[in-house]
Chain A
Amino acid sequence: MADAQPLLSLLGVCKSFGGIQAVSSISFDVFSGECVGLVGPNGAGKTTLFNCVCGQLRPDIGDVRFDGTDLLDLPTFKRARLGIGRTYQKVEVFTDMSVRDHLLVAERARRGEGRLWRDLLNLSKPTTDEMNRVHATLELVGIARLADTSVNALGLGNCRLVELARALATEPKILLADEPSSGLDLHETAEVAAVLRTVQRERGTAILLVEHDLSMVAEVVDRAIVMDLGAMLAEGTFDEVMADQNVRDAYLGQMGAA
């Protein structure tokens, strides 16, 4: 928590769908370089909150600021260019595309649109520089050997890694990882956790991690926030929040009692 100025800050964000309050009055800050875990069951409003940050949804009330900019009126792609990267709970890979092409889309998108005239004049071939950066990101995530494979042929675990690499290729200041271990087994979960730690350490990327696998969260995060039914139950270090009585009652149940 080096900077005084938070990188991402949410102020009293509320969102409801057809009378059901999905997120009610959530406020917290994420500072640059830190890893914050957002813990809670399915339907606690974590993904809704992510969508409010990334621009797929607009909060009913509240404010979202990133790096000194008010995000509310910006479309998704502009927020992405400010430095917000994201992975998705239900994998959103590009069907039929190779892993390398996934990263090339990201690499180009970071610097604006595809210009039609450049394509037509055959000026848009990937440069060596771009290919090197893509390769470096693939190495970082550990899927360089899959670069030319089509994502159609990848398992869920590798698809999550592709998403992660794709988000990292935009060189984000903050990475929002939405349940990266959902549907993965212990081995694959460990792999994803390792990548997240490396990213935070080597690139200084801040991470906001949504997860319900508590053991993974414990391993990765500096700080944790527990959400349930759209509201914040507790905030603090992982051990602090797990010791919180509210969290034990509303979330952990048997596990908390044990």
Chain B
Amino acid sequence: MVQFLGFALPGVPYGCTYALVAVCLCLTYQATGVFNFAFGAQAFASAFVFTYLTQVHGWSGFPAFLVSVVVMGPVVGWAFDRFIFRHIPNSNSVAKMVCSLALLVGIPNLLPVFFGNQNLDATATIFPFFNPNTVYFTLWDTPINGIYLATISVTVVVLVLLTILLRYTSLGLQMRAAVESRRLVQLDGVNANRVVSLAWIVSSFMAALAGVLLASVYGAFTSNDYVILTVTAIAAAAWALLRSLPIAAGVAVLIGVTTTVLEGYISPNSIWNAAVVPSIPFVAIVVALLVLPGMRTLDSNRDPLATVDPPPPPIAAASRAPTMDRIIRPLWWVVFAGFCVSMLTWMQAPWTTVFNNGITISIVLLSITLITGMAGQLSLCQGTFAGIGAFTAAQVANHLGLNLFVGALVGAVLAAAVAIVFALLSLRLRGLGLALMTLAAALFFDATFFNETYLTGGQQGLPIQPKWLGTGVFFNSSGHAVFLVSLGTLIVAVIVVMMVRKGTVGRNLAAMRGSEIATAGLGVNPTWQRIVVFALSGAIAGIGGLLYSLQSQDVNAGNFNAQFSLVLVVLVVTTSVTTLEGAMQAGIGFFFLQQVLTEFLPKIGLGGVGASSLTVALFAFGALTYAAHPEGVLEFQKRRWNERFERLFFSGGSGELTGSTLSTRHANG
């Protein structure tokens, strides 16, 4: 018993930090209607600024705390609400998720842009009442120091205060009402925008506070620590159905304790230690999603006044005049032919690498077009599918000596199989539930399979030899070979996605996006359609992943982690998730921009700014416009230019939209 408690007690401070974040996640969700994936990133940002000020500029703890928490927290929260979330209609849960994911990806990448790559360690402490190094008393042979007392007391105080805020104050009542319908609550005389803004300010302040506290608990921090922290907190919040703050806190502490207990009992040399312990939070999420029926209906409270919003705009291609088409199409073919010739003749590295990477990533992005653009669901594990494809192919090639075409095929099949398993696990989940499930799956693979040296080569990764046909060297390993194969595969993938979209399956998916109930009511088996689209998407991503690795001739788990999956979503959402061009523009555009920045930044004296971070941050910024332009910001600009161009040259143009019939359903429906 004493041994058990000796293992359990050290888990409590960790549990409390998880609890702090979990409680805040629930608060944010209840008070703003947004599941804030970026909560951990916000916490990280404040902790980063705090440590930066104390260590690099030698500030003392108190003013640094004022700036990084008391000022920065609320200001960031206010800005989030004012510039991003206020503009998302209440009913659009995908847009809310995309925006918070963009923040999750963007914030950690934006920090090095402003502050440079700092190696900070968070030893500075701001505990006001307890000294972390003093042992206050001993409980079951465990010394209880200031960290225990500080985390426990802060968590309890926060829990009590937030419960009171939500349950027993007017403001809390107004927040809960405003989440359901901002408009309805206005009719009762409540300034809904102010209420929601306050909710964001409170929540963001909590994130900043949690971040700075946690930095001192963990001692050192990386953005990865905050991802793990957020994921564990998500698990706890899921068990509380994002509603009950005490349950969230309880489960969080339980997860913290379970982790240290398991670590204590499982021998550190056993392979279980490496596999079981890191996967606890993901298992907790998956089980919560599977057994709690409440998780299936998370976003189902629709705003009764949603029809006040104007209907979504038509997609650009649809509104382009045929005259324009006749001019633009051949132009594209010329550009394409010129590009191919250049790639095969005069173009040199690094630009050949840039385009090869762009093309291969485009294939992976097409798999997102399939799931998000056509089926209307958000999958956050496409990078994992890509990784599975790449590793399988590499293993097949390296161990069985088979050529890469066979490897690619096996990889695609395996990725599709895993995708089917994910689809089966998430059959009843939609929207946020599915996003959480796929995120958990991606992180689970990071922590387990991708972490196994005998599967993925661990840190070093696996080499891939681009031997194309048998053992003979049909293509050499130069960029040209990779380019031709990648381009060919991309064309095939584009055709596949196009055929699916035009065909029965595509039509069924489009119907399901409109109304799954009605589609099933016609005799379509939505489960089967979903499995089909997941499998196909997994296979495409798997092949894309292999080709992506081929350029650098090695497959590394670090390239296919959950972070990668998130970046992929952010990329494609920025250009356009509904069109085929969108995926290609995102893929090629990303590497192109990155290369341009790499060459350009040092010339204007900004060499210290990471080009790659800046590129991701820029795309994340683009993804934030998803709410205003769900067709993709690039797609939106395209339409605007189309219209201007047409007005300029063909006075006809697409004209202003009128139509009384259209307005009528809107007004009454």
A residues whose Cβ falls under 8 Å from a Cβ of B: 54-56, 75-78, 80-81, 85-86, 88, 91-97, 101-102, 104-106, 108-110, 112-116, 118-120, 122, 124, 152-156, 158-159, 163, 166-167, 170, 183
B664 CB contacts on chain A under 8 angstroms: 155-156
A114 B668 Cβ-Cβ under 8 A: no
Interface residue B518 (Cβ < 8 Å from any Cβ of A)? yes
Per a CB cutoff under 8 Å, which of A55, A81, A101, A183 touches B669?
Answer: A183
Per a CB cutoff under 8 Å, which of B312, B500, B513, B668 touches A116?
Answer: B500
B661 A158 Cβ-Cβ under 8 A: yes
A80 to B521, CA, bound (A): 6
A102 CB contacts on chain B under 8 angstroms: 511
A84 to B514, CA, bound (A): 21
A100 to B504, CA, bound (A): 13
A109 B523 Cβ-Cβ under 8 A: yes
B523 CB contacts on chain A under 8 angstroms: 77-78, 80-81, 106, 109-110, 112, 170
A166 CB contacts on chain B under 8 angstroms: 518, 522
A53 to B520, CA, bound (A): 13
Per a CB cutoff under 8 Å, which of B513, B520, B532, B662 touches A80?
Answer: B520
A92 B662 Cβ-Cβ under 8 A: no
Q: Closest CB-CB distance, B512 to chain A, in whole Å? A: 8
Q: Closest CB-CB distance, A95 to chain B, in whole Å? A: 4
The residue of chain B having its C-beta at the shortest distance from the C-beta of A183 within the complex is B668
Q: How many A-B residue pairs have CB under 8 A?
A: 136
A96 CB contacts on chain B under 8 angstroms: 510, 514
A166 to B504, CA, bound (A): 16
Chain B contacts with A in 487-536, Cβ cutoff 8 A: 496, 499-500, 502-508, 510-511, 513-515, 517-526, 528-529, 532, 536
B residues whose Cβ falls under 8 Å from a Cβ of A: 311-312, 496, 499-500, 502-508, 510-511, 513-515, 517-526, 528-529, 532, 536, 659, 661-662, 664-665, 668-669
Given contacts A101-B507, A109-B522, A114-B503, contact A153 B517 (CB under 8 A): no
A109 to B522, CA, bound (A): 6
Q: Closest CB-CB distance, B504 to chain A, in whole Å? A: 3
B507 A118 Cβ-Cβ under 8 A: no
A119 B499 Cβ-Cβ under 8 A: yes
A78 to B528, CA, bound (A): 13
A190 to B20, CA, bound (A): 60
The residue of chain B having its C-beta at the shortest distance from the C-beta of A119 within the complex is B503
Known: A105-B508, A105-B511, A114-B503. 18 other contacts (CB 8 A): A77-B523, A92-B514, A94-B510, A94-B515, A97-B507, A114-B532, A115-B504, A116-B500, A116-B536, A119-B503, A120-B496, A120-B503, A124-B503, A154-B662, A154-B665, A155-B664, A156-B665, A156-B668
B536 CB contacts on chain A under 8 angstroms: 116
A155 to B511, CA, bound (A): 19
Q: Closest CB-CB distance, B497 to chain A, in whole Å? A: 10
Give the one of A101, A119, A120, A170 with max B CB within 10 A: A119
Q: Closest CB-CB distance, A194 to chain B, in whole Å? A: 20
The residue of chain A having its C-beta at the shortest distance from the C-beta of B495 within the complex is A120
Per a CB cutoff under 8 Å, which of A95, A109, A122, A159 touches B513?
Answer: A95
B517 A92 Cβ-Cβ under 8 A: yes
A77 B524 Cβ-Cβ under 8 A: yes
A58 to B505, CA, bound (A): 28
A115 CB contacts on chain B under 8 angstroms: 504-505
The residue of chain A having its C-beta at the shortest distance from the C-beta of B659 within the complex is A153
A92 B525 Cβ-Cβ under 8 A: no
Give the one of A76, A101, A104, A167 with max B CB within 10 A: A76
A112 to B522, CA, bound (A): 10
B504 A114 Cβ-Cβ under 8 A: yes
A114 B510 Cβ-Cβ under 8 A: no
B518 CB contacts on chain A under 8 angstroms: 88, 92-94, 163, 166
B503 A153 Cβ-Cβ under 8 A: no
Q: Closest CB-CB distance, A54 to chain B, in whole Å? A: 6
Q: Closest CB-CB distance, A236 to chain B, in whole Å? A: 30
A115 to B506, CA, bound (A): 10
Per a CB cutoff under 8 Å, which of B312, B500, B510, B517 touches A119?
Answer: B500
11 interchain pairs (CB within 8 A)? Answer: A77-B526, A92-B518, A93-B518, A95-B513, A96-B510, A119-B503, A119-B506, A122-B499, A153-B661, A155-B662, A166-B522
A240 to B524, CA, bound (A): 40
A39 to B664, CA, bound (A): 28
A104 CB contacts on chain B under 8 angstroms: 507
A166 to B502, CA, bound (A): 19
Q: Closest CB-CB distance, A93 to chain B, in whole Å? A: 6
Give the one of A97, A102, A109 with max B CB within 10 A: A109
A93 to B510, CA, bound (A): 11
B529 CB contacts on chain A under 8 angstroms: 113-114
Q: Closest CB-CB distance, A199 to chain B, in whole Å? A: 17
Q: Closest CB-CB distance, A140 to chain B, in whole Å? A: 17
A155 B665 Cβ-Cβ under 8 A: yes
The residue of chain A having its C-beta at the shortest distance from the C-beta of B311 within the complex is A152
B669 A91 Cβ-Cβ under 8 A: yes
A220 to B364, CA, bound (A): 55
B665 A114 Cβ-Cβ under 8 A: no
B526 CB contacts on chain A under 8 angstroms: 77
